[in-house]
Each structure stands twice: as structure tokens, then as C-alpha cells.
Amino acid sequence: MSDPTPEPRGRLSGLAAGLRDFYSGPYRRTFARAQQDEDDLFMVIVMAEALGVPNPASYYTVELLPAVYEQFHAWHRRMGLDRSPLDTFSCC
């Protein structure tokens, strides 16, 4: 036999999801675009030394290279580059 009233925690999480959709729904595309721009900037900062741009923080960003390799192909396609700009790293 099912319980006719949901648990308070379930109701609160449902209410929170509804409020999130109400307030952030109209701006979802803007938030997604801002997130994409931020991710692209992060990719440029991490890959700067490999792209030939002097990077004073390359000592710290070199550790992040394995984390961004999987997103590299999508990034250079988004930037309008048909082929990989790196001579040493060919993804396509």
C-alpha cells in the first residue's frame, strides 16, 4: 500500500527543483554560454604554452594538460580550426 503523502524531504526537493526551474529557466541559455566561454578561456590558459603563447603560470598549468586533452578536439573545432593547431598533438 502506497503512502498518499510524500515525505517532507521529497516535497522540499521537489519545491527546490521547481524554484530552480522558475528562476534559472529563462536564463539557462545565457548561463550555458557563460560557462562555455569560461571553459574556453580555461582551455586557452592551460594550452597557452603549447600554442606558443608565453605563460608565466605554465609550471602550474602543465599538470592540468591530461585533464583537458579529452576536450581539446571539441575546443579547436569550436574555435574554427579544422585541424589541431599543435604539431605534437593530433586529435583528428
Residue ranges per structural domain of the chain:
33-91
Q: What is residue 80's DSSP assignment?
A: T
* Confidence (pTM): 0.64
Residue 6 is predicted with a pLDDT of 64
Question: 26-54, pLDDT tens digit by residue?
Answer: 898 999 999 999 999 998 888 888 888 88
What is the mean pLDDT of the segment spanning 9-31? 90
Band (55; pLDDT cuts 50, 70, 90): confident
Q: Give residues with Cβ within 8 angstroms of 39, minimum separation 6.
A: 71
Q: How far is CA 72 from CA 16, 20, 53, 55, in A?
A: 35, 32, 17, 18
